[in-house]
Every structure is written in structure tokens, then in C-alpha cells.
């Protein structure tokens, strides 16, 4: 092999190695599933949380229902970010369940769930979780709302469009996973993306439905992972129906803690 061919081969290997890595390992770059420990499940049960077992795509799943203290006026479906679990919502929402029930949904492969997360399995599991919860007494016909943070905002939007939610609260949402990939790595990397969450498209679908959904966006001004410009971009789809709260001091992971007042107001009956 001539020295020129060796150099070209070395250049090709150098260029292709990160491409192959990103294509084959992107699930590990997007999802960080963890299990529950016994103490976490014990705390949830003491707080009145009920396990909602169901099956999705042939896999055993468990969602977690915090019932309303009084007759429920709404069912909120909650999704966490890519490194969190459904029950991480419990300390936040347990003070807000006087007239609303909260269904906290883990992604496939997270918490007590089997399976693997991807846009298709997540969409189906979310719909199946809502359907299983609707079978509970008193929840069949109450209005539906969806709440999510970060990747969970994408899950919340998918659920809202598929199960006709009329209230949606998205915290630190991205516009699309493709735009996140290009921003985080390098511009053409989105062409390799297999996990194509698209909040812009999903939000357009929601706004075209007959329910006239009310959408609230909450984003930290200092967000170092998903820039606040992405929420501002999403709001432009319909500024009259999409309300945006920018939290000046909030980053990505503390946005929920620093925006509890705004979240509580958005969840109010």
C-alpha cells in the first residue's frame, strides 16, 4: 500500500470513527435509565401513591398514580427528564393534589419498567399508561393535562396530541432532537439521528386539534443544556395560546425548583 493510500485510509478512519460511535451509541448518549430502590418505593406508598401496572409493546410497565384528595377535576400526566424517574416528581406535586390526580410515567427501561426507550416505544407506553389509569374509578372522563421536563417535555407533548389533552406545561423543552444534536456536536450529525423527537411538529399538531389546548412553557434564562431560545422559538407558533415564563436565575436542572410558583399557577384548575 502506497504512503498516499495509507494517509487517506488514516484520514477516513479518523473521520468515520466518531460518526460510527454517534450512530451506534446514541441511545446511551440520550437515555440514562436507573431503577428504584426499596426506600423510594416505600416513601411513595406512604405518600398515597398507587402502582398502575400495564403492558405496552409486550413489555411489563408500571406507572404511579397520586390520587386527588377530593373529587378529581383533572388528571395530570407527568414525565421526567432523561436522567430522572417518574417518582422524582412526587415531592413537587404532592402538595397540589387536592383536586387533581397525578399520573407519573416512567419511560420503558426506567424505574420498574422493562423494555428499551425510543420515540416509538415511549409514545405507545405513554398512551397505554393513560388508558390504564383512565380505567381507575373517577378518572375515565376528567380532562387531561400533560406536564414534562426536558426530554419529558417531548413525552408530554406526544401524549397530549395522542390523548387529546387541553392543558400542557413544558419545562425546559427543546425544539427538536435534531437541532439539539447539531448544537451539541457538529452540524451534520443530525443526519445520523435515529431518536427523532420533534417538539415543533408535535406542538403544531396539538394546536390544530379542536380542544384549543392551553400551553405553558417554562425555561431557565441560564439553561446551559437546552437554550431558552428554543422555548422562545416554540412560542412563536402561536403567541396567543402559548405562554412563556423565563426564570432569570434558573439553569436546566434547577428549573423545576425555581419555578414552582409558575408551575403551580399553570396547573391550577
CATH of domain 33-267: 3.40.50.1820
pLDDT at 22 over 60: no
CB atoms under 10 Å from CB of 34, counted, come to: 11
Please report, for the chain, the start and end positions of each structural domain, with discontinuous segments joined by +.
1-30, 33-267
pLDDT for residue 3 is more than 70: no
pLDDT tens column, 104-139? 999 999 999 999 999 999 999 999 999 999 998 789
Q: How far is CA 10 from CA 13, 22, 174, in A?
A: 5, 19, 37
Stretch 62-67: mean pLDDT, rounded? 98
Q: Summarize the confidence of residues 182-196 as an average pLDDT.
A: 63
**Which pTM value belongs to this model?**
0.89
Amino acid at each position: 500500500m502506497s504512503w498516499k493510500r495509507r494517509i487517506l485510509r488514516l484520514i477516513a478512519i479518523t473521520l468515520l470513527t466518531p460518526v460510527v460511535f454517534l450512530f451506534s451509541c446514541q441511545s446511551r448518549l440520550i437515555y440514562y435509565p436507573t431503577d428504584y430502590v426499596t426506600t423510594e418505593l416505600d416513601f411513595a406508598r406512604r405518600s398515597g401513591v398507587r402502582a398502575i401496572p400495564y403492558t405496552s409493546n409486550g413489555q411489563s410497565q408500571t406507572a404511579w398514580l397520586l390520587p386527588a384528595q377530593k373529587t378529581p377535576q383533572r388528571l395530570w400526566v407527568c414525565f421526567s427528564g432523561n436522567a430522572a424517574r417518574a417518582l422524582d416528581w412526587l415531592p413537587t406535586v404532592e402538595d397540589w393534589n387536592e383536586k387533581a390526580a397525578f399520573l407519573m410515567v416512567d419511560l420503558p427501561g426506567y424505574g420498574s419498567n422493562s423494555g428499551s426507550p425510543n420515540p416509538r416505544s415511549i409514545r405507545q407506553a405513554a398512551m397505554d399508561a393513560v388508558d390504564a389509569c383512565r380505567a381507575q374509578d373517577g378518572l375515565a372522563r376528567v380532562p387531561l393535562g400533560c406536564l414534562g421536563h426536558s426530554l419529558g417535555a417531548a413525552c408530554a407533548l406526544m401524549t397530549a396530541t395522542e390523548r387529546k389533552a387541553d392543558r400542557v406545561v413544558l419545562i425546559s423543552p427543546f425544539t427538536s432532537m435534531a437541532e439539539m444534536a447539531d448544537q451539541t456536536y457538529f452540524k451534520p450529525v443530525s443526519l445520523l439521528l435515529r431518536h427523532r423527537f420533534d417538539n415543533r411538529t408535535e406542538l403544531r399538531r396539538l394546536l390544530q386539534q379542536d380542544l384549543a389546548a392551553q400551553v405553558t412553557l417554562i425555561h431557565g434564562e441560564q439553561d446551559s443544556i437546552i437554550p431558552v431560545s428554543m422555548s422562545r422559538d416554540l412560542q412563536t407558533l402561536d403567541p396567543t395560546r402559548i405562554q412563556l415564563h423565563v426564570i432569570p436565575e434558573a439553569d436546566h436542572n434547577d428549573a423545576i425548583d425555581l419555578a414552582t410558583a409558575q408551575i403551580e399557577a399553570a396547573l391550577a384548575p
